[in-house]
Structure 1
Amino acid sequence: MYVRIELAYTTPKGTETFFSSDEMPAAKALLLAEDLKKTGRATEIMFVDKHDSKWTMKNLKKQMEAIQTEPYEVIVYFDGGFDRVTKTSGLGCVIYYEQNGKSWRQRKNALIEELDTNNEAEYAAFHLAVRELELLGVHRLLVNFAGDSQVVINQLKGEWPCYEAALNRWADRIEHDLDRLGIDPEYQVVSRKYNQEADRLASQALKGVEVTSVIEL
C-alpha cells in the first residue's frame, strides 16, 4: 500500500505552511509521520492513498495490521490461447504471493466459447486473474502483472491505441475491477519462456483439463 503524507507545519515563531510528500510505502510514511509528530510542529497529519482516500494515523496503523494477514508481494502471470477450428479459448493464470510469512502459488485455468480472437483470449485470461485476486482478498496493493501479449500489456498501459470494440470492452472491465479493488497495477511484457506456466494452463484448458490449485512454496 502506497500513500503520501499531508500535514500542516508551524515554525516556533508561528509561520504556518502545508506540505504534501511523494508517494511511499505506508510503513515508511508512518515512521516519518511519527518522527515529524515528535517535533511538536507538525499537525493535521493525514495519509492519502492512490484513490484519494484519506487515513488518520490511527486508521492507517489498523489497516497495516490487517494487511499482515492478507496476501501481499503479489505477482500475476496470465496467458490466453484461441483455437480457430473449435472457436474455444483456453485461459490460464498463475499468482505468486506472500501471506502470514509464507510463500504461495495459485494456479487457475478456464475454457470459454464466446470469444473470436486470440487477443480477446489474452484479455479474458487477464480478467480471470483479476477475479482470482478478488477471491484471494487482494485489495489496496501494488500488483505486478506479467504476460507475453504485447497487445494487452501496452494497451492497458495506455501506450498503444485500442481500436477494436471487443478489446475496449475487456480493457474497461479490467480497469473498473482494478479500481474497485484498489489494486495499483504494474505491467510487464515477458517472453513466452518466462510465461510457460500460464501458457501450459491455457493449453490444458483447451484440451479439457481443468486446473485449480494452491500450494506452499
Structure 2
Amino acid sequence: MKVRIDWTYKSPKDQVLKFLSEELEANDAIQIAADLERTGRTKRLQFVDRHNSNWSLKELKNYVTEIETEPHDVIVYYDGGFDRHSKRAGLGCVIYYKQSGNDYRLRKNTAIDELESNNEAEYAALMMAVQELELLGVHHLPVRFIGDSRILVNQMTGEWAVPEQTLARWADRIDQRLEKLGIHPEYEFVPRKENAEADRLATQALNYTAIESLTDISAANE
C-alpha cells in the first residue's frame, strides 16, 4: 500500500509549517516518519492513503505487520480474446503479489463459449482474475488491475456509461465481488504490448492450451 505523510513541524522560532509528502510505500513511510519524530519538532503526524483515509503511525505499523503473511502489493494483468465465428473466448490473467517476504506470480487461462463480443471477453477475463484473487485470500487491500481495453477501464472507473446490458451485468457482478472482498480496485489502461503475458495466455486458451502455474519469482531470481 502507498501512503503520503501528513505532518506539522514547529521550528526553533516557533514557526508552524505543514507538509504533505509524495506517495511512498508503507514501509518506507514508516521509516521516514520515525526519523521525523526523532527531531522532536514534529507536532502532528499521520498517513493518508489513496482513498483519503487517515492512519496513525501505530495503525499503519499494525497493518503492515498483519498483511505480511497474506498476499499484498497485488498487481493484476488480464486480457480476453474472442473468435467471432465460434463465439469462443480465451481468458488470461497474471497476478503478481508479495507474501511472507517473497514475490509470486500466478498465471491462469481458460476458454469459455457463447459470448457475444471481444468486449464481453475482456469483462470475463477481469472476472476470472477477481475469482483468482478470492482463491488466493486477497481481501481489504488496494489492487491494481491493468488491461489493454480502454472501453473496460473507462467503464469500470465510471468515466463512460455502460449502455450494453450484457456488459453492465458483468460490471455489476465484478463490483459486487470486489465489494464483498473489500478490494479497492485501481484500473489502468496500457497498450497491448505492455500486456503481453495476459494476451499470450488468452491466445493459448483459444488454441486449447490450458495453463495454471504459481511461481516464486524471488527464488527464481536468486
State the TM-score, normalized to the length of structure 2: 0.73
Aligned to 1:167: 167
What percent of counterpart residues are identical?
45
- 1:60 CA displacement: 0.7
Are 1:34 and 2:34 counterparts? yes
2:202 equivalent to 1:199: yes
Q: Return 5+ residue gaps in structure 1 as ranges.
A: none
Structure 2 match to 1:24: 24
**Aligned residues of 1:2 and 1:50 also touching (Cα < 8 A):** yes
**Mapped pair 1:95 → 2:98:** no
Distance in 2 (CA, whole Å) between partners of 1:35 and 1:28 is 11
Partner of 1:55: 55
Return the alpha-carbon distance in structure 1 between the equivalents of residues 70 and 185 of structure 2: 14
Aligned partner of 2:186 in structure 1 is: 184
Closer, same or farther: CA 65–122 of 1 in aligned 2, 3 Å? same
Contact 1:94 1:197 in 2 (8 A): no
Secondary structure of residue in 1 paired with 2:4: strand
Q: Give the 3 Å change call, closer, same or farther, for CA 193–16 of structure 1 in structure 2.
A: closer
Which has the larger displacement, 46-55 or 7-16? 7-16
User: In structure 1, how many angstroms separate the alpha carbons of the residues matched to 2:119 and 2:214?
Assistant: 27
SS in 2 for 1:115: coil
Cα distance, 1:8–1:200 mapped onto 2, change above 3 Å: same
In structure 2, relative to structure 1, the CA distance for the partners of 1:35 and 1:58 (3 Å cut) is same
CA contact (8 A) 1:72 1:97 kept: yes
Q: What do residues 125-161 of structure 1 show as CA deviations (whole Å, max 9, x unaligned)? A: 01211221233233534535244x4543465567777
SS at match of 1:191: helix
Change in Cα spacing, 1:174 to 1:199, as seen in structure 2 (3 Å) is: same
TM score, norm. by length of structure 1: 0.75
Query: Corresponding residue for 2:220?
Result: none
CA contact (8 A) 1:4 1:21 kept: yes
Q: What is the root-mean-square deviation of aligned Cα atoms in Å? A: 3.4
**Contact 1:90–1:111 under 8 Å retained in 2:** yes
Change (3 A) 1:152 1:182: closer
